[in-house]
Structure 1
Amino acid sequence: MRVALFVTCVTDTLYPGTGRATVALLERLGVEVDFPAAQSCCGQPQFNTGYRREAEPLVRRHAEAFRGYDHVVTPSGSCAAMVRENHPRIAARSGDAALERAVAEVAPRTYELSEFLVDVLGVTDVGAYYPHTVTYHPTCHGMRTLGLGDRPRRLLENVRGLELVELPGADQCCGFGGTFAVKNAAVSAAMGADKARNVEGTGASAVCAVDNSCLMHIGGTLSRRGSAVRAVHLAEILAATEDGAGHGSGRSTRDGMGRNAR
């Protein structure tokens, strides 16, 4: 089984620890992971802002970079949704039959991490240990576009030492929304404040999600409020073990993954 990691630009640039945790987790489960160096942005910022033609070269680059793999795994619900839902639409409008064929090969084989673990590998207990109280925020793309359902929760429920607590208003958007946060900063900040208050109200020491973009927004809001609650990606929790192997948050690291991912 040939598996490639689509790390995403947010993770590569700001949260490389999540990418490393994803690789550590998958390799612990017996999966050999490749990192195609030609990968770049999936085009989601351009597409969501209305620059659909400008997103086309990125779609083409993505399809070429991940051609030939049995599965493409990404620690991002929003980027998985972009590839599966919107790359085929962009390819269809391009008028390029070769691009359509290339995208048709890659898009259906792209999985968000929890989907790959539960649906492809058939596991919900990955041998993780994380002795903290955690609340889970289901991100909009993961919940509404991919339909992740209870997959992330099932994985968290099987982590030893972890106490999972319910998040009030869990189905409400955190307010990030990519360029929405830039164009509608006041509304975005207000939504983020509502989410942060709900997170704090759970008494959890960490809030977990499948998207670093949402965690960046929630975590930043919590930090500005002086909260001790940490924003932690699902991959980092699942990679954590009792001996500390596989768990290293890269939230404050800026080294990226680049060509040295492995």
Structure 2
Amino acid sequence: MAKRIVVDIFIPCFVDQCFPDTAMNMVKVLERLGCEVNYNPNQTCCGQPAFNAGFFDEAREVANKFLDDFSNDSSHYIVAPSASCVGMVRNAYQDIFVKSSNLVKYRTMQKKVYELTEFLTDVIGIVSVPGAALFGKATYHDSCSALRECGIKAGPRALLQGVEGLELMEMEDNETCCGFGGTFAVKFEAISSAMAEQKVENALATGADYIVSTDSSCLMHIDAYIKKQNKPIRTMHIVDVLASGW
């Protein structure tokens, strides 16, 4: 009998607070595919907001907590519905732990951290979730973190193409930033809004009903523009798409 895959899920703080249904849908999808899912309620943040703002000591403190929360069993995978947070753990933590006594412990954990779609396609080896159905047209937004920090591009598209009733449309400049960038959206509001406008207009030009991405942070920013301008399109996290219809 094949050994069951055990997954420790990491729920980013903004997903926990703003998009809890996405977190629950990730559990739903993983269990549908036969994974054993664990959740450590002590988990908090990956430390990215502090790190990006230059508060490196505070970021190190959070990173050490993350390491303690997710290093109990080296056979477990760590999966998150956010390429942004996964990119932080995979890449920025290398700088945080470079001179730390926890470096070896981190290197072991680093190899086990995955964004959900790459875990599904690269580890489990699936390109469709049984029963997934969403009728309409969707266009996929490559988040900067997914594409540039994690090298994720083909996997999410393959999964979307496996959703019954969903037609995938490619928009122009799909690899261009949506304008969120964390504090960038606050510090450079006009530029950030213009980038969101460009992203939405490119999506509308495809005739899509949905803009789909791996990152709720991007979708939150895009959706704010959509709602303010009353545009006829919706945003959906790819996890929510894969959990639709069953």
Distance 2:176 2:213 in 1: 13
- Structure 2 residue 48 is the aligned partner of structure 1 residue 32: no
Q: Could you tell me how far 1:146 is from its partner in structure 2?
A: 0.5
- Letter of the 2:191 partner, please give it: V
Structure 2 counterpart of 1:102, from 92, 102, 105: 105
**Aligned residue number for residue 122 of structure 2:** 119
- Structure 2 residue 11 is the aligned partner of structure 1 residue 7: yes
**Aligned residue number for residue 95 of structure 2:** 89
Q: Which has the higher contact order (CA 8 A, sep 6+)?
A: 1
Q: Note if contact 1:88-1:107 (Cα within 8 Å) is conserved in structure 2.
A: no
Q: SS where residue 151 of structure 2 aligns?
A: coil
Q: Could you tell me how far 1:52 is from its partner in structure 2?
A: 1.6
Q: How many percent identity over aligned positions? A: 39
Structure 1 counterpart of 2:165, from 146, 161, 168: 161
- Structure 2 residue 79 is the aligned partner of structure 1 residue 73: yes
Detail structure 1 runs of 4+ shifted over 3 Å in the superposition.
none
Distance 1:101 1:39 in 2: 21
Distance 2:112 2:205 in 1: 38
Deviations 1:52-82 (A, max 9, x none): 2210011001011111252000000110000
**Aligned residue number for residue 194 of structure 1:** 198
Q: SS where residue 161 of structure 1 aligns?
A: strand
Runs of at least 5 residues in structure 2 that lack an aligned partner in the other structure: none
- Letter of the 1:105 partner, please give it: T
Distance 2:109 2:95 in 1: 13
TM-score calculated relative to the size of structure 1:
0.89
Give the number of aligned pairs: 239
Answer 1 or 2: which has greater strand percent.
Answer: 2
Q: SS where residue 87 of structure 1 aligns?
A: helix
Runs of at least 5 residues in structure 1 that lack an aligned partner in the other structure: 246-262
Distance 1:120 1:96 in 2: 30
Distance 1:33 1:132 in 2: 31
Q: SS where residue 212 of structure 2 aligns?
A: strand
- Letter of the 2:65 partner, please give it: R
Distance 1:239 1:105 in 2: 31
**Aligned residue number for residue 219 of structure 1:** 223
Q: State the Cα RMSD in Å.
A: 1.1
Distance 1:89 1:205 in 2: 41
Distance 2:6 2:158 in 1: 26
Q: SS where residue 133 of structure 2 aligns?
A: coil
**Aligned residue number for residue 23 of structure 1:** 27
Q: SS where residue 153 of structure 2 aligns?
A: coil
Q: Could you tell me how far 1:39 is from its partner in structure 2?
A: 0.9
Q: Could you tell me how far 1:149 is from its partner in structure 2?
A: 2.1
